[in-house]
Chain A
């Protein structure tokens, strides 16, 4: 997952870039911070980048799977997401009442009263990271084959963190490769993507750096999790300056989960040990925004080398 905890509201540079994107029609304002429409050009760039990721990962022959941007509430509860990131979760609630309740609902809406308090939780939760629906699917297949498994995912993800930083959306797409296997297998996977990720982004002419990172764990307990994650080098990010050079934006992340998901879901290696997992995540909107930032809002004026790389 990408850490989206920094800077909860937009600063001047972020707001300037957001307004420029609105003015050009690249992003479309919906009245909610972090919830935007995308133009055809934006989607074209994003999809070409998505395809470029596929190209760079093709040799590994990952098994592709696509889930909708919501997942089972039960799976979500078991995943432990609420232990770590309760502040980011989004649950889906619906009206489940009768005719009488419907009348009350409409009255409340009309008078501007809170109509949401009687909404009932459904069995659906918004997907917080593309890989969350995957782990129980892996576990269900039984022990991993000797070579482990590799999956290719992409999903819209939700994180409740309204912001005027265009690079911190509440609903955004995350492309992921997820590796499950022995510790050696998953660390080798992460290492290879640390290399490939840099090569891929350099080919698109953007400045970048790799840094150690942590996820936005909640509260005091979260401080320990953050410190532990950093001390053990579990998370790295590929950062690109978008609205700030001092605080560049995490566009790719390289995560080693140790046996956390293996334990949680009972995923076993071929010899019966608890499986380790790792993933590489690509923030598709963030990369797209980085490209617009560095090559300009006018796609026709982008450097030929970059358009060649994306459109072939």
Chain B
């Protein structure tokens, strides 16, 4: 799942940092993730996993690292759906 998230970040977020070098806990905002890009990432994740993030998860914290995104996805993606 982390690789999938990493690839979506690479595609949608135009970070000045190489996505491959980002650890699971690296702060994406510190790596250059803008508010607009985090919204694009949120929408791309929803498309990819055919889910809708609940309102309580629509905040900076959820999208602050690859690990926190994966944790959020594990809560809402039906088991077995995450490739």
* A and B interact: yes
Interface string of A212-253 (1 = CB under 8 A from B): 000000001101110111011000000000000000000000
Interface string of B28-71 (1 = CB under 8 A from A): 00000011101100110000000011010011100100000000
Q: Give the chain B neighbours of A228 by CB distance below 8 A.
A: 35, 38, 59-60
User: Judging by beta carbons under 8 Å apart, are A83 and B60 in contact?
Assistant: no
Task: Name B40's closest neighbour in chain A (CB-CB).
Answer: A221
| Contact-size category for B | 10 to 19
User: Judging by beta carbons under 8 Å apart, are A83 and B59 in contact?
Assistant: no
Q: Give the chain B neighbours of A220 by CB distance below 8 A.
A: 52-53, 55, 58
Flag whether A80 is at the interface (Cβ < 8 A): yes
Q: In the complex, what distance in Å separates the CA atom of A228 from the CA atom of B60?
A: 6
Q: In the complex, what distance in Å separates the CA atom of A80 from the CA atom of B60?
A: 20
Q: 6 more A-B contacts (CB under 8 A) besides A221-B42, A223-B55, A224-B59?
A: A221-B39, A224-B42, A228-B35, A228-B38, A228-B59, A263-B34
| Contact-size category for A | 10 to 19
A147 to chain B, nearest CB (A): 27
Q: Give the chain A neighbours of B43 by CB distance below 8 A.
A: 221
**Which of A221, A231, A260, A263 touches B60 (beta carbons < 8 Å)?**
A231
User: Judging by beta carbons under 8 Å apart, are B58 and A227 in contact?
Assistant: yes
Task: List residues of chain A with CB under 8 Å of any chain B CB.
Answer: 80, 83, 220-221, 223-225, 227-229, 231-232, 260, 263
User: Judging by beta carbons under 8 Å apart, are A227 and B59 in contact?
Assistant: yes
User: Judging by beta carbons under 8 Å apart, are B35 and A225 in contact?
Assistant: yes
Task: Name B43's closest neighbour in chain A (CB-CB).
Answer: A221
Q: In the complex, what distance in Å separates the CA atom of A229 from the CA atom of B59?
A: 10
User: Judging by beta carbons under 8 Å apart, are B35 and A80 in contact?
Assistant: no
> 6 A–B contact pairs at CB < 8 A?
A80-B36, A223-B55, A224-B60, A224-B63, A225-B39, A228-B59
B5 to chain A, nearest CB (A): 17
Q: Give the chain B neighbours of A225 by CB distance below 8 A.
A: 35-36, 39
Q: Give the chain B neighbours of A83 by CB distance below 8 A.
A: 36
